[in-house]
Each structure stands twice: as C-alpha cells, then as structure tokens.
Chain A
Amino acid sequence: MAEPVLAADGTPLKASLKRALRRQKMRALLLIAPLLLFIMLTFIIPIGQMLFRSIENQIVSDTIPRTVAALDSWDHDADEVPPAPVFEALAKDMMIAAELKEHTRLGSRLNYEMSGISSLFRKSGRRVDDIGEVYTDQFTDLDPAWEDPATWVQLLAAPSWIAAGDAWDGSGAEPAFEISNDATTQFPETADIYADFARVIQTEDNDSPTEEEPWNVVYLALYNDLMANPGATAPAELAGLIDTTRSALPGFEVEDVKASFEDIDDDWISADVWETIYTYSPAYTNGYFLNAIDLQKTPDGIEWQPENEQIYLTLFWRTMLMSLTITFSCILLGYPVAWMLANLPSRKANLLMILVLLPFWTSLLVRTSAWKVLLQNQGVINDLLVWFGFVADDNRLALINNATGTIIAMTHILLPFMILPLYSVMQTIPPSYLRAAKSLGATNWTAFWRVYFPQSVPGIGAGSILVFILAIGYYITPEIVGGTKGVFISNRIAYHISSSLNWGLAAALGAILLAIVLALYWAYDRIVGIDNVKLGG
C-alpha cells in the first residue's frame, strides 16, 4: 500500500486538489444553472410525471375506496358476483363519486380495460341515490325526527364542531365538519359515510350538514350499525329515539342492494365487470404496459389481447422498420452529396451547402404538404410517370397514404441531418489518404472502400443515430402522408393523448419508445463506440 502523496502543508494531495478544483466546478455549474433549471422545470419534471402515469392507477382506489377494501375478501377465482357488502360499499362510493362527478372519470378509466363500463358507471351514477330509500322512508315514518338534519348532527358531530358552528358568524366558509369520537366507535359505518356526506355538502354544495337531510345510503348505514351493534349508545338527548328505532328495526323491510344494482343494469351481476374492477384496484399497475404490447391483464393472469385488437406490436415493429429504411435511404442519398460537398472548392461547396440547408428555412408542415401535392394519385409525379408512359393511366402508383409516402417524405425531410454530420467528418479526411492509397496500387474503388469509407464511418454513425432517433419519434409527416398503413407509434401516442385521453397507455407507449431508443443507443455505444461519433471536426 503506497502512502498517499501529501501537499506542502501536509494535507493529502488529493484533498488539496479537490479543494482547488471546487471553485472551478462551482463556477462551471453556475454557468449552466439557468439552462439546467429551465430544462428541469419545463422538460424533465413534466416528462417524468407523464411517464409516471404509465404505472399510476390510484383513480380506482381513490374513487371507490370502500368497494376496493370490501373486494379484498372476495374469492375472485370462483367466477361469482361479489357478496352483498361489496354492493353496499359500492353504493356508498358511487353516491359520493356521483356527487363529486368523479364516477364518469373512473368509468372512462375502466372502459380502457373493458368496454361498456363507462356507460355502466354513468347510468349507475344517475340512479345510485335511490339505493337505501327504503330505509329512509321507514326511519322517517317511524319518527319524523329522522328527517331533521339536526338529529343527525346531534348524533354524529363532534361537540367541538357544534360549538364552532354556533360561534361561526356566517361569513366565509363554515368550519369543516368533524365526526365525534363516540359516533365512530358506536356507529362506525354511519360515521364513516356521514363524514363523507358532510364533506361533500360543505365543499361541493357550499351548504351545511345542519340543513341537509342525509343521503339514503346514510340511513342504510345506520340500519346496518343498529343491527350489528344492538348495544350502541347515543348522546343522552337521542337515547329515546335510538331505543324506539332499535326496537322497530326487526320489522323493517330490507333492501337487497345487489338487486337494486341489478335493477340499474344487469352488468353489475356480471363477474367480468367485477373482475376488471378487482384487477385494476391496486394503486399501481403494469396494465398500461401490458396493453402497450398487446397483452392484457385478466384475473387468470396475463393473456394476449384478442387478435383483432392487437395493434401496438405491429406498430412498434413498423416504426422500427420504416425508420431503418429511412435511415438507409438517407445514407444512400446523402453520402455522395456529402462527399461532393467535402471535395468541391469552398465557393461551390458553400452554394451547395445552402441548397442542403434550404429545407430548414421552410416550415416542416409546408414541406410535408408539398409532398402531398406531389405524391397523390393525380399528383405531379404520377402525372409525369403516366406522361412518359411508365405507368398506365388507370394504374397510377399509390405513393401517398401508405408506407411509401411516409418513407419518401421523411427521407427528404431528414436528409440534411445525415448530410451535415457526414460532411463535417469527410471534411477532416485529407485527400492525401486517397492519393496515398492509389500510389500504393489501389484502384479507385479499393482506395475508397478500404481507406476513405472506414474513416467516414463515424459520420455515418452520427448521421444514422440522428436520423433514426428523429424518425422513430416522428409525428407530423406520417400523420399527413401516412394514411393508416404508414403511421408510426408516435401517431398512436398522440391519439391517446388528445383523443382517447388514455394518458396512461400513451405514457406506457412513450416509455417503451424511450426505452427502445436508449437500448439502441447503448448497443450502438457498445458496437461502434459513442466516442467515434463526430458531429464536427
């Protein structure tokens, strides 16, 4: 073990050096700080959030928490509809969600997994407030006091909240409702749903629980509590009311909540619906990713999507294949141009360079639209081919709204990204190498292939990475000239972002695309070496 080298003052040299360099590093960091901050705020964080959506699934457990909890005890392998408590929990969750208008969002979310759920939820949301009405009627028939919101407040509200409500001068918002501890222990189910009721009344309706008659499901909950816990005690003022009610309970008509849901829609007694809800109840899911590669999550495990719904693997494959084709076309077309640019006298080279850069001065949309004009069935190219007699008039080439159109237009658009790195690499290859090779006896072709070409490979590499990565995520051009057969995965992502609003799936598709690009980049680095990529001299 060698002794660490010491600086003149006796401290280890490494530490001294680090200290000396720290200022320099800090200064460098400060210089890039504005850009870093900008990128972080506008790019990295939003993208990270977006990608997070590909696994995030809290909407189910947030919107119907009681149902999700109740489903835990359900034997989903039995292929049966869950037991009654699940339906009661669903009634409460649905009631709250309907009041908050969140049930449609959950419906859309689950609709991605099973079509029809969206309308089921919408329909149920409209009619869920009828569930439990049987109990409401019987409670109020028994004693009109049950109709009075004050009775409920007295039974369930914390004394501190009542005091605060009395002290409240009516300006601003009413103090947030608090449930009493006694109620939570004596009437747990009622307390639980009433607390949510009070919250919804206060926040959504801007009203007070002291003035609103509870929802029907609250009566249902109280019925359940009184039945389950005959010894429950109430505040002294209500003891009489509770006692009379309790004694009347056995004679009450009972509502079958499951039947009520069946009444709203038969789909509620389909095991498939419940299996879907159960499968997607965890807060995080790999379901979006599975969907993105044409798989689906079922209670029996992961399965392929039905054949007619498998599109994403094909799309990924097509995106890769077409991007490769475009990259190769760019190499084939760009290499000779770059060679010419690098070997012409600088005056002519500059003029030619302007021609190469010319497309950058025109909007991408305009260029793509121009291709539409050129390539269409009655377009310039077809007209010319017919005029020259290469194709028959009734057999014009389909050059647009298919893969051919996308490849032609994108090759043209991405060509400068191939030519520029190639040119800058070729510029650094002195002509004397070719001369040396020829003087050593190599033919023009051998000199090019064995001496010039290997040295231009870094340019091809840089251009290919650039073109391929740009192509794989391209959106506008395939959208305009691609039709259905020539669209890329990015078009599907855009569709999910802006039309179907299935952001989770869009995020999963995007994440896979990102992973593919990074994997290719990694492979390229291993095979060619990223150090060999040159964008300039």
Chain B
Amino acid sequence: MPILGGNGLSATKSDNAFVEFERVQKSYDGENLVVKDLNLSMPKGEFLTMLGPSGSGKTTCLMMLAGFETATHGEIRLDGVSINNIPPHKRGIGMVFQNYALFPHMTVAENLSFPLEVRKIGKSERDEKVMRALGMVQMQDFAGRRPAQLSGGQQQRIALARALVFEPELVLMDEPLGALDKQLRETLQFEITNLAHELGITVVYVTHDQTEALTMSDRVAVFDDGRIQQLAPPDELYEAPQNSFVAQFIGENNTLEGVVQEIRGDSCIVKLDNGDIIDAQPVNVSQVGERTKVSIRPERVEFDKTRLSPDAHTLKAEVLEFIYMGDIFRTRLRVAGNDNFIIKTRNAPDQVRLTPGSQIEIGWLARDCRALDA
C-alpha cells in the first residue's frame, strides 16, 4: 500500500511543486510550537483542503502562506521562489476570508475594482474584468449594491469574485462557507470547485467541516497538534486512515482496543481486551505484543454470516438501539464491552431490522479493519 503523506514527513520536494512548505515551524510565544515541522508540496491546479480541529495549526499555515504571519523556521516557496520575506501585497495570492471582509464603504463593483486599481490597470480594462468576474459568480446585477445590502451567500460570491478578479494563480480560502446554512453551503461548495477547475487555479482551502473537505478537494491534509496527520485524496483518507486520529476525525468510526497477537503479511490477529480475537490489517503496528486501536467503519460491519469467509473471526454482540434514519438504519450494539459500536445498513427491501435486546454475531473483512496506533 503506497503511503502518500504519512505523518507529515514524506512530502518530497518535486520539480512540479507550485506551493511548498519545507520544515516550517511557527511559534507565537517562543515556548509552544503551533506548527511543528510542516512539509507540504502541491502541484499547480490542485484543490487542497487543510482540515482539522480548531487550534490544530491549519489557519496559521494559511496565514503564513498569505504572508500575514511569518514562519519561525523553515521555508515557504511559491512556484519555486522563497516567499518568506515577500510582503503579502506582493505575493499575488487571492484570498477569501471567513467573514468575507468585503469593504463596507464600497459598492460591489468598487470592491472588485480595488485589486485592479492598486495594480494600476486602466479604467476600461478594469470594468471589463470586474464584469467578467461578477459573471463567473452570476452576480452581474448587483454591481451597484453595497455589501450590507446582500445576503450572506451573495456576499460570499462577491468575496470569491474579488479574490479571482486579478487572476491570481493561487487562491486561499479560510472557512469561507462557515457562516452559511447547509443548503447554501452545498450549492457554493459545488460552485467553488467547478470554478476552480474551470479556471485551473490552485486552491488551498481551510475548513473544519469534513464533509466539505471530502466533497471539494483533490487532496486533504488532516491537521492535528501542529502536524499534518495524513495527506491524501478523500477516498483514501476515509477508507485507509493512517492513524487513529484520522480514523476518528474523518467520518464515523468504531474503535476496539487490544494487543497484536500475530502478524502475517498484510493481515494480523488482535486480541481484544475482553479476550475476543479479531482479524485486522496492520497499518502502523509492527510487532507482536504492541497495543493497538482497531478501526472499523460502521457500514463495513457484517452480521449476515453467509457473507463472511468461513474462517473469519466473529464477535458476539447485543443490539441496544435501532434508529430509523430514512436512507439508512443505524444500530447501536454492545461489542467487546464497547456500548457505542455502531453499524449502518442500507434501507433495502430485504434488509433485516435488528430488534433491541437480540444477540447477534458480527464480523468483517480483514482489510476493512485497520489496526492503528494506540
């Protein structure tokens, strides 16, 4: 299994890298590192999302890239040129802010015209570019309005247009959809990704919303504790988390704790704390006797014995709760002393509805059960 970005150390300097962080560290107080040894390399045209809980260092990274924070150590390169000492206004990076930061005393057109004016672009060309940018976000009719007269979604579109109007090659977005309601957020997610791909711009997108990260990005960098925990495309991130933090953070996940008993190539046997034996795929366990957390996605748990391989290990489980959620059924089980073991089944005509109190046996394919760090 190829490892694309394990533990933030494996990103290598490549010739086609557009944005590069090399051994970047950041500290505000001289005692604690907010960003610890960050290495990241992204090619031109990529849509990369920095995902992580608050305080994980993702926004700091974005601010260092934008030039509002200086790296305490390390080098940040844009298109091969070190930008550590270039002030923000000379970096030519478009940015969309969390609260839009549209200038309230200017009209929409003036807001869009601002970056062109400071670049001393002539009036007619300016107007043309402004209208084109407004066209990209379907806001031509709002050129004369003030930001306060627009709804949140409209303001967001204008902020996007403003970040794009001077045709930057790199656009940074700092939780741009955080303040919008769910439906609008989904529409805009779609629009932003479409626009980014159409224009071929490189986007670094910061969010703490994992759905957003998974649906929009080419690759996602999961941040925690000042490090990139995993950098991978969304499907890989979900299906093959490299450590238990990523497994927990992305999507719903069942965790069982135990000790590695036997390792055989790409599968291993784990003895859970209550003595049960299960099959798993060793991900970052290397020796017998090591403690591990195994992670299984709720939808990969099987309770129909006929669909498991005959020699697979199974576990006894007690059904605690059955929740009807429309498209899926969500069932809570007690497994190996864990009361919060969830399984999800699709609402199909022949699907079994488990009744609380019943005893069942569950199992899974060894490759769906990942033995991660404890």
Interface residues in B23-43 (C-beta closer than 8 Å to A): none
**Which residue in A430, A440, A454, A455 is a CB contact (below 8 Å) of B118?**
A440
How near does chain A come to B112, taking the closest CB pair, in angstroms? Answer: 10
The answer to whether the Cβ of B234 comes within 8 Å of any Cβ in the partner chain is: no
**Residue among B92, B93, B101 facing the most chain A CB atoms (10 A cut-off):** B101
CA distance A436 to B94 in the complex (A): 9
The answer to whether the Cβ of A247 comes within 8 Å of any Cβ in the partner chain is: no
The answer to whether the Cβ of A443 comes within 8 Å of any Cβ in the partner chain is: yes
CA distance A427 to B66 in the complex (A): 24
CA distance A138 to B354 in the complex (A): 140
The answer to whether the Cβ of B223 comes within 8 Å of any Cβ in the partner chain is: no
Interface 0/1 of A17-39, CB less than 8 Å to B:
00000000000000000000000
Chain B residues with CB under 8 A of A435: 66, 68, 88, 95, 97, 101
Interface 0/1 of B32-68, CB less than 8 Å to A:
0000000000000000000000000000000000111
Chain B residues with CB under 8 A of A441: 89-90, 92, 115, 118-119, 166
- CB distance B89 to A430 under 8 Å? no
- CB distance A432 to B99 under 8 Å? yes
CA distance A438 to B101 in the complex (A): 12
CA distance A197 to B87 in the complex (A): 96
The answer to whether the Cβ of B162 comes within 8 Å of any Cβ in the partner chain is: yes
CA distance A437 to B119 in the complex (A): 12
Given A430-B99, A432-B101, A439 and B89 contact (CB-CB distance below 8 Å): yes
Interface 0/1 of A441-473, CB less than 8 Å to B:
111101100110011000000000000000000
Interface 0/1 of A415-445, CB less than 8 Å to B:
0000000000000001011011111111110
A: interface residue count bin? 10 to 19
The answer to whether the Cβ of B264 comes within 8 Å of any Cβ in the partner chain is: no
CA distance A444 to B68 in the complex (A): 12
- CB distance B89 to A442 under 8 Å? yes
How near does chain A come to B241, taking the closest CB pair, in angstroms? Answer: 34
The A interface, classified by DSSP as helix, strand, loop or mixed, is helix
Given A442-B89, A455-B105, A436 and B118 contact (CB-CB distance below 8 Å): no
CA distance A77 to B104 in the complex (A): 68
Chain A residues with CB under 8 A of B119: 441
Interface 0/1 of A293-320, CB less than 8 Å to B:
0000000000000000000000000000
- CB distance A430 to B114 under 8 Å? no
CA distance A309 to B97 in the complex (A): 66
Interface 0/1 of B67-111, CB less than 8 Å to A:
110000000000000000001111111110111010111000000
Q: Which residue on chain B has the smallest CB distance to residue A452?
A: B103
B residues adjacent to A (C-beta < 8 A): 66-68, 87-95, 97-99, 101, 103-105, 114-115, 118-119, 162-163, 166, 172
Given contacts A439-B93, A441-B119, 19 further A-B contacts (CB under 8 A): A432-B98, A432-B99, A433-B103, A435-B101, A436-B95, A437-B103, A439-B88, A439-B91, A440-B89, A440-B94, A440-B95, A440-B162, A440-B166, A441-B89, A441-B118, A442-B89, A442-B114, A447-B89, A455-B105
21 A-B pairs (CB sep. < 8 Å): A433-B101, A435-B68, A435-B95, A436-B103, A437-B114, A439-B67, A439-B163, A440-B94, A440-B114, A440-B115, A440-B163, A441-B89, A441-B90, A441-B115, A441-B118, A441-B119, A442-B114, A443-B89, A443-B118, A444-B89, A450-B114
Which 9 A-B residue pairs are closest in the complex by CB-CB distance?
A: A440-B115, A436-B101, A439-B95, A432-B101, A438-B88, A454-B105, A438-B89, A442-B118, A441-B118
A residues adjacent to B (C-beta < 8 A): 430, 432-433, 435-444, 446-447, 450-451, 454-455
